[in-house]
Amino acid sequence: MDPNLQLWKSHGQSFLSRLKTWFNLLDPSLLLSSDAEILKAHALLGSREQVVASLLFHSGVKPALFWQFLLQGYNAGFNYMNRNTSAEQGKKASLKHLLLIAGTVSYTTFAGALPQIIVNRLRVRSPPLQTFCRSILPIPLSALAFFNVLTIRNEETETGIQVFDRNGNAVGVSRAAGEKAVWETAQSRAVLFGTTAAVPNLLSLLLQTRFFQRNSLLVAPCRHISVVLTLCLMVPVSFSLFSPVGTIKREKVEKELLPGAVGEELIYHRGL
């Protein structure tokens, strides 16, 4: 059986066990540990500063586009590197896929910076409209991170991914399993970025009290801290929503795979 499947099949059967595993992998104290442990956590820790900067409301459109481009570019690279490559057999990325990645980064960058563009280019001065653009609109736009996953990993839905029976024997390549794996991953990203945008933005609305109006310099630090804390919590939570060992009913996979399958369900590695 695939090593990833063996690991998560034994340690990731429940949400709480997966959550514990991800908290251990993301523990900042690993930075003081061995090189092997650092490598495990490095990729997951690297995006935090980009996320904080991208969720802030900037003074102009160019800074907003710049930070959104860094975040969406990182997301695209992360999604591409952590896809399921079991059916690719060493194939290089096609020109079509590279153009799709570039288009995805461009589209999501523009979507992420849209609130800033609306306020600056349309010269929005109405306080209710500014509040909507600054605090409400970024929430659904941040949740559009699922679109990044759907496009970057679309080859898994077209060519399929390797599936195994309950005994760990390779059964074949299934497009249905690929679609399920990509969709579950996309949902976890929407939860991650949607929640990380929602909590600080809604908190900023609650902080519009007389105390914070008199001490306006406290608002920005509170917002920064809430973004960091929410992100630190939501990364392991979102990664734990679905098990890396996905399952699919045998009747939902391609008919040509059924004769060699043992059991009522087939398993696959979802990717990250």
pLDDT in tens, 172-211: 888 999 999 999 999 999 998 888 888 888 887 777 666 6
Specify the pLDDT at position 46.
46
Burial (CB count <10 Å: 0-12, 13-18, 19+), residue 203: middle
pTM to 2 decimals?
0.78
Closest CA to 240 of 7, 8, 6, 16: 16
Contacts of 76 (CB under 8 A, 6+ apart): 101, 104, 105, 148, 152
The residue whose two tokens read 């609130």 is 115
pLDDT in tens, 78-137: 888 888 887 776 667 778 888 888 998 998 899 888 888 888 888 888 888 888 888 888
| Average predicted confidence (pLDDT) for the chain | 79
* Model confidence band, residue 31 (pLDDT cutoffs 50, 70, 90): low
43's tokens? 């990729």
7's enclosing H/E stretch is helix 3-11
Q: By the 8 A CB rule, do 234 and 226 touch?
A: no
Specify the pLDDT at position 187.
92
Distance CA 252, CA 168 (A): 19
Distance CA 177, CA 38 (A): 32
State the CB neighbour count (10 A cutoff) for residue 222: 14
Specify the pLDDT at position 36.
56
Cα angle 190, 196, 197; round to 5 = 90
Which is more confident, 140 or 204? 140
* Distance from chain centroid for Cα 178: 17
Distance CA 131, CA 137 (A): 9
* Model confidence band, residue 235 (pLDDT cutoffs 50, 70, 90): confident
Specify the pLDDT at position 45.
45
Which is more confident, 126 or 10? 126
Average pLDDT over residues 19-38: 62
* Model confidence band, residue 8 (pLDDT cutoffs 50, 70, 90): low
